[in-house]
A and B are shown apart, each in its own frame.
Chain A
Amino acid sequence: NAGVTQTPKFQVLKTGQSMTLQCAQDMNHEYMSWYRQDPGMGLRLIHYSVGAGITDQGEVPNGYNVSRSTTEDFPLRLLSAAPSQTSVYFCASSYSYRRGSSYNSPLHFGNGTRLTVT
């Protein structure tokens, strides 16, 4: 059982370049999300999805795009990288998200992508 798989593990970009961070889960989870982690700021939600074809913004969505064409995949796109996007990015998924759900699973996190923008 692979869980949540993120690629790449490390990436260096130059300002203005674009790239896609990949995230895949094999647990048939409805809910998927992207967080960025910066020193002293905890984890901040970028975008999330409650199912294929449905996405929404989190706390810090600017500069990032997402799509969810399948249950398994939730890629994060940086269209024009900026130094402020230097961070560690985590993808996470969960079986349930609805209020009152009897199956209250935690978010399962991938191993992260360390991105540096110069």
Chain B
Amino acid sequence: ELKVEQNPLFLSMQEGKNYTIYCNYSTTSDRLYWYRQDPGKSLESLFVLLSNGAVKQEGRLMASLDTKARLSTLHITAAVHDLSATYFCAGWLDTGTASKLTFGTGTRLQVTL
């Protein structure tokens, strides 16, 4: 069974700084996702990572995947207040008899002035 761990759980950072959120998963995953959730809202898809070495960027966020290390990272460049939210990584596993998306516990990001 796939287990997904994120760290840190909480991250307070100043505007303009860079930081990375880490996502480790326990077994081979078919795909790795990153989602964003604002307080009281639904989840918004940010990235889908399919293969080893995959890198995707959108604005100040960049996600990468290392399948050998079973590690994905979400790098934040020059943070701005609008990036304050909770970020989840999730791993998809389709075994042929089961198809499930397993989430990490989330990283709450707070960007301060």
Contact = CB atoms under 8 A, between A and B. Distances in A.
B105 A58 contact: no
A79 interface: no
Interface residues of A, number: 28
A29 to B, nearest CB: 13
Contacts of B30: 99
A111 B42 contact: yes
B102 A45 contact: yes
Contact of B42 (A56, A58, A110): A110
Nearest to A94: B101
Contact of B105 (A35, A42, A48, A92): A42
The B contact surface, by secondary structure, is: strand
B42 A104 contact: no
A111 B34 CA distance: 18
B96 A43 contact: no
A17 B45 CA distance: 34
Contact of A45 (B9, B31, B33, B100): B100
A107 B31 CA distance: 12
Given A90-B43, A99-B30, A33 B101 contact: yes
Interface in B76-97: 88, 90, 92, 94, 96
Contacts of A97: 92, 94, 99
A107 B106 CA distance: 17
Contacts of B94: 97-99
A32 to B, nearest CB: 11
Which 10 residue pairs across A and B have the least CB separation, nearest first? A106-B45, A42-B105, A99-B94, A43-B103, A42-B103, A97-B99, A109-B43, A109-B42, A111-B42, A99-B30
20 contacts: A31-B99, A33-B101, A35-B103, A40-B105, A42-B105, A43-B88, A45-B102, A50-B99, A58-B100, A90-B42, A90-B43, A92-B101, A97-B92, A97-B94, A98-B94, A99-B96, A104-B31, A106-B45, A107-B101, A109-B42
